[in-house]
Structure 1
């Protein structure tokens, strides 16, 4: 039998020291790396929006690539959006219906569930699915091009990768996010109505009356603004991570993972900010 290796106390101490040193190095370098990444994303987002406006005005916008990317995004995300919007809306309807019944305000179930879907559920569900499905696909596409040095080849030939690759994806991401948010609002409202009427024994007239009494055009405007901002965040983060991917296929996989995580965190933070600002600026329209 082969004797088992004996680990001395000195080797254990050296291993612990190495782990501690690596932890300190990570803590020291991570904030700087995070700030650099955020800075690159902010700069890329500003330049992409500026080029988008300039190219549309000057007639140089690549509409063919835009249509192709928009079709790809819709094909990738519309089925998951519907599949997630239905159970989320049904869950909100059930919870608000139970809460309204406990406080004796069953007539407000329609308003509460409907507003929750329009203000929060629809834009957030759409954004999360865009980050998971579309953002990861964009990052994988651009990352694979980056490691094959196609991006460098474009720059050498005098073709701006930002205007050729990022700008049409940004426009498509904004448009698709807004369209899917509107579709998700309809699906969510329909699911809440059906559950309230046919499962919770609510009345159709009460549901529609309370919803129309509390819901305003500002709620839909808020959802559309959220969708445009969320689509911009997802697209810019995915493009920045993909264009800066390094280290071969493993680097692309790490970039895709970082895209999804960073996008979801940013979406949650921005959603909280939008909700608080809307509540402060328009207090009379809140429920």
Structure 2
């Protein structure tokens, strides 16, 4: 029999604890996401839980979204207007406002709010249920937690993100309009007419797709982290922090990919 090389046991333990754990987590995330996608099309649908989660996510997300959308859009419009005024083309202010609000700021604010407020609250709720053994109790009673808890939350996160993007874009454009017209003396009619100069229906659709994917991804991450909490109440806090970080990374990656694909399609 071949003799063991000194250090093999250490390498094996290091591989099991350091390298295998992230791989198992990634595999578990994709496996659970696949289960959720399959259960999404299997009746019955937990409609009451879906409505409760939709209201819950909207309640914790709307106010932060409104507080973020106006300053972001107004700052972008202000900088753009300063440049246009130097060129004597201040009437094109609406073009910059529409491009920034629809293409970038709307999805960007949606990322921040969905990951920072919605997904973290969802993970905390599921994590508290997990450490209280409520998830195991549902399994003992023959209730599938994926269909009863996870599917409604993922669908609610997707819907709220889509609606949140629309609200953020609308409020941001209104704020940019009032700021440009009343503070930088831009003609109201020219502002409104310039909004559709570079921003069309394809840009709105691409941004709506991004917002829906943001909500879907954030919901999937929150559900996985919430159901795999360990270490008691402290583990819930760690899971919430990890949910926010992982959601930010994935959502910005999705934003980059979808923006590049949408740009190629629109050409």
The normalised TM-score by structure 1 is: 0.84
Question: Could you tell me how far 1:44 is from its partner in structure 2?
Answer: 2.0
Pair 1:81 & 2:94 matched: no
Question: Could you tell me how far 1:41 is from its partner in structure 2?
Answer: 2.1
**What does the per-residue CA deviation read over 1:54-78, in whole Å, with 9 as the maximum and x for residues that have no partner?**
23xxxx1011111011011111111
Question: Could you tell me how far 1:169 is from its partner in structure 2?
Answer: 0.5
- Give the Cα–Cα distance (whole angstroms) in 1 for the partners of residues 88 and 262 of structure 2: 28
Pair 1:132 & 2:140 matched: no
Equivalent residue of 2:186, what SS? coil
Residue aligning to 2:135:
151
- Give the Cα–Cα distance (whole angstroms) in 2 for the partners of residues 99 and 42 of structure 1: 47
Pair 1:270 & 2:254 matched: yes
Cα 1:110–1:32 shift into 2, 3 Å: farther
Question: Could you tell me how far 1:228 is from its partner in structure 2?
Answer: 0.9
| Structure 1, unpaired ranges of 5+ | 1-20
Q: Is the 8 A contact 1:114 1:192 kept in 2?
A: no
Q: Is the 8 A contact 1:155 1:161 kept in 2?
A: yes
Higher mean Cα deviation, 269-278 or 97-106?
Answer: 97-106
The normalised TM-score by structure 2 is: 0.90
Bigger Rg over Cα = 1
Higher mean Cα deviation, 163-172 or 95-104?
Answer: 95-104
Residue aligning to 1:53:
41
Q: Is the 8 A contact 2:225 2:240 kept in 1?
A: yes
Equivalent residue of 1:214, what SS? coil
Residue aligning to 1:183:
167
Question: Could you tell me how far 1:103 is from its partner in structure 2?
Answer: 4.5
| Structure 2, unpaired ranges of 5+ | 1-9
- Give the Cα–Cα distance (whole angstroms) in 2 for the partners of residues 99 and 34 of structure 1: 48
Residue aligning to 1:44:
32
- Give the Cα–Cα distance (whole angstroms) in 2 for the partners of residues 160 and 187 of structure 1: 40
**What does the per-residue CA deviation read over 1:131-170, in whole Å, with 9 as the maximum and x for residues that have no partner?**
1111111111111111111111211222111111100001
Question: Could you tell me how far 1:99 is from its partner in structure 2?
Answer: 2.7
**What does the per-residue CA deviation read over 1:72-101, in whole Å, with 9 as the maximum and x for residues that have no partner?**
111111111111111111111112112333
Cα 1:36–1:105 shift into 2, 3 Å: farther
Pair 1:221 & 2:182 matched: no
Q: How does 1:107-256 map to 2 (within 5 A)?
A: 107-256=91-240
**What does the per-residue CA deviation read over 1:114-135, in whole Å, with 9 as the maximum and x for residues that have no partner?**
1110111112212321111111
- Give the Cα–Cα distance (whole angstroms) in 2 for the partners of residues 97 and 30 of structure 1: 52
